[in-house]
Amino acid sequence: MGGKYSSLDPMAIEVPEINTLLSRDPYLKPYEKEIRRRYGCFKDLIESIEENGGGLDNFTQGYKYFGLNVQPDNTIICREWAPGANQLYLTGEFNGWNRDSHPYKKLEYGKWELILPPKPDGSCAIPHLSELKVVVATPTGSKEDRLSPYATYVVEPPKSEDNVLPRIVKQGYNAIQLMAVMEHAYYASFGYQVTSFYAASSRYGTPEELKRLVDRAHELGLVVLLDLVHSHASKNVMDGLNQFDGTDACFFHAGRRGEHSLWDSRLFNYQEFEVMRFLLSNIRWYMEEYQFDGFRFDGVTSMLYHSRGIGQGFSGNYDDYFGLNVDTEGLIYLMLANHVVHTFHNDAITIAEDVSGMPGTCRPISEGCLGFDYRLAMAIPDKWIKLLKHYSDEDWNIGNIVHTLTNRRWMEPNVAYAESHDQALVGDKTIAFWLMDKEMYTHMSTVSDPSPIIDRGIALHKLIRFITHALGGEAYLNFMGNEFGHPEWLDFPRAGNNSSYHYARRQWNLVDDELLKYKFLNAWDAAMNHTENKFGWLSAPPAYVSWKHEDDKVIAFERAGLLFVFNFHPSKSFADYKLGFEGEGEYYIALCSDDSQFGGYNRIDTSVHNFTKPESYCGRRNSIQVYVPSRTAIVLAKV
């Protein structure tokens, strides 16, 4: 049973808040028809689900119908969707791995069902934690072992992990994003080659232990987000969705449309009714079974375009976002997914990983848009790595840095970040390692000889994170380890490193050692977050940049009533540096990266207050003079 798309005149489709969208961005007016058509497709799917899927609430709890479900009387009902299969069987420890003794009954619409009554003593026919597999008789005549797509626990040897939640809370963060939770076959894929979508990876423990982790995070006041991979799936056949019913299709598009050429993975057919049920129910599963508070949607660009974003520059021309390259089925699925998340959990958070900058990504569905709460500002970490790799400090383009940090659509919130796993992969380096490299092995001790490389690295590491935090978005993301300048790189166990875990862990001993300078970077990270918590610049409107001076390498901007001043110059310090400022009165230094507690030189007396003058400067009503040493950032707040 497939979904349907509207064949009516798109201009006749009522989009509740489209006038709000068009008045905010008049350049979207030529694309009004396409926006209305998208919203019409979304409404058609909602209506189809109501008419044919038992309503949205029932439809998005497919895990209660499919897979293996134990009834109150211990009857076990097993159901699968395998439209291309000739027959299904259940095998496992409970029947001595007999592959023929327990056949499923074929139902309508490619569904299969097996009912196992309780044993004479009233217990389940299949003991708890028994190993099971579904045997699929394929159209070619073979019998293949498969894992149920709705399996909730698939086993691999668990590994021990550090207890990091208290560290996160101490640093002042209010949310965590868990990656690689959904079961995947290949560790080095960072969890992106998912094989079992309903199963929490047993590498890290049992489902009960994941629930305890989420509960503990909630007790500590943390919001818990899941890295959700609905953009593609592993090609694995034995333990994945691929060829589940013995055909090239089932959950995916057949042929080339069903394969991602760069990721070597399968692409979902989002118009197929049972695929939508499977994925939307997957969202409900993690929110209701594990109590996740929201999701970061992986690979959104691939879902939005037929090109999958491969080789596409996305210049910002609106034709890129409203032309034939847009994959309507993927786009409407994302609207539907956001609708489900926010319908059943009003306070939930969704984040889009999209490099294209699709207009309306973070605007409400009622405006004909995608309905995400945030978009990842993916250009920012790429910019920092590019600067550190290819440019000397004197050649950093201040205007270009400001442009990268502020280049986002009005009223579409972004998550800014300086570093992530993508930037720190093997073959690349962490920001700290790019800045300080091998001297981190010899000169990070507080009692070691002074090192200009280490001094520069610590100073710039603080400035890079802070300007990203304050100027780059409406939320800030830290990749664990960046907060204390983790050295080296990331490399998960794989064939190329003899399955070593050596580079697959954070070296907490470095930041815990009082004799090492990592503690300074860690203290700065906490200070950024706690200062933001006091003044709330992330929830304030975007900053107004009043000053960006190429020769001085100075950037100044206002946000949440604060004045932020950054001096990126490698050697020049400025006394009585004049800046324009809309605020007026007496101001104190609320945060200074040059303080000794952050590994600085105490060149600024933070007890001294600054006063504005009633003379306009650089387009601002007042002016103010500050002392800003080289490679230093300060924040001024009103007394």
Average pLDDT over residues 260-285: 97
pLDDT score for 158: 40
Q: Is residue 77 part of a domain?
A: yes
Tens of pLDDT, residue by residue over 449-480, are 999 999 999 999 999 999 999 999 999 999 98
Q: Is residue 562 part of a domain?
A: yes
Contact 628, 634 (CB under 8 A): yes
Half-sphere exposure (Cβ direction) of 49: Cα atoms closer than 13 Å: 28
**Is the pLDDT at 609 greater than 50, yes or no?**
yes
Contact 234, 260 (CB under 8 A): no
- Cα gap 450→456, rounded to integer Å: 11
Q: CA of 66: how far to CAs of 196, 233, 523, in Å?
A: 14, 19, 49
CATH of the domain at 583: 2.60.40.1180
Q: Is residue 131 part of a domain?
A: yes
pLDDT score for 3: 47
Average pLDDT over residues 592-613: 97
pLDDT score for 506: 82
Scanning the structure block, which residue is given the tokens 């965590």?
A: 176
- Cα gap 369→348, rounded to integer Å: 18
CATH of the domain at 127: 2.60.40.10
What does the DSSP assignment read for 168-198? HHHTT--EEEE-S-EEES-GGGTT-SEEEEE
Provide the token pair at 183.
């079961």
Tens of pLDDT, residue by residue over 4-30, are 445 568 888 999 999 999 999 999 999
Domain edge (last residue) among 146, 174, 204: 146
Q: Is residue 516 part of a domain?
A: no
Q: Is residue 529 part of a domain?
A: no
Strand boundaries in 213-275, DSSP class E? 223-228, 259-260, 265-266
In this prediction, residue 189 has a pLDDT band, given cuts at 50, 70 and 90, of confident
Dihedral angle sign, alpha carbons of residues 587, 459, 425, 398:
positive
Tens of pLDDT, residue by residue over 35-81, are 999 999 999 999 999 999 999 999 999 999 999 999 999 999 999 99
Domain edge (last residue) among 114, 146, 178: 146
Q: Which phi and psi angles does 334 have, rounded to 5°?
A: -65, -40
Quote the mean pLDDT of the chain.
94
pLDDT score for 157: 40
Scanning the structure block, which residue is given the tokens 């037929």?
A: 306
In this prediction, residue 156 has a pLDDT band, given cuts at 50, 70 and 90, of low
pLDDT score for 187: 80
Q: Is residue 58 part of a domain?
A: no
Provide the token pair at 44.
């058609």
Average pLDDT over residues 155-162: 54
Active site residue 298: yes
Scanning the structure block, which residue is given the tokens 């604060």?
A: 562
Find the helix packing angle between 32-52 and 328-344, rounded to 10°.
60
**Is the pLDDT at 2 greater than 50, yes or no?**
no
Q: Is residue 492 part of a domain?
A: no
What does the DSSP assignment read for 68-119? EEE-TTS-EEEEEE-TT-SEEEEEEGGGTT-SSSSBPEE-GGGEEEEEEPPP
Q: Is 313 exposed, middle or buried (0-12, 13-18, 19+ CB in 10 A)?
A: exposed
Tens of pLDDT, residue by residue over 191-249, are 889 999 999 998 888 999 999 999 999 999 999 999 999 999 999 999 999 999 999 99
Identified catalytic residue from 144, 227, 239, 298 = 298
Q: Is residue 82 part of a domain?
A: yes
Domain edge (last residue) among 128, 146, 164: 146
What does the DSSP assignment read for 349-415? EEEE--SS--TTTTS-GGGTS---SEEE-THHHHHHHHHHHH--GGG--HHHHHHHHH-S-TT--EE
In this prediction, residue 183 has a pLDDT band, given cuts at 50, 70 and 90, of very high
Domain count, the chain: 2
Contact 627, 576 (CB under 8 A): yes
What does the DSSP assignment read for 431-458? HHHHHHGGGGGTS-BTTSPP-HHHHHHH
pTM exceeds cut of 0.85: yes
Identified catalytic residue from 34, 239, 353, 412 = 353
**Is the pLDDT at 159 greater than 70, yes or no?**
no
Neighbours of 513 (CB within 10 A): 15
- Cα gap 568→630, rounded to integer Å: 6
Average pLDDT over residues 132-141: 94
What are the counts of helices (DSSP H) followed by strands (DSSP E) for the chain? 15, 26
Provide the token pair at 403.
């442009």
pLDDT score for 490: 78
Q: Please list the residues that pair with 516 across neighbouring strands.
A: 445
pLDDT score for 613: 98
Structural domain boundaries enclosing 83: 67-146
Active site residue 488: no
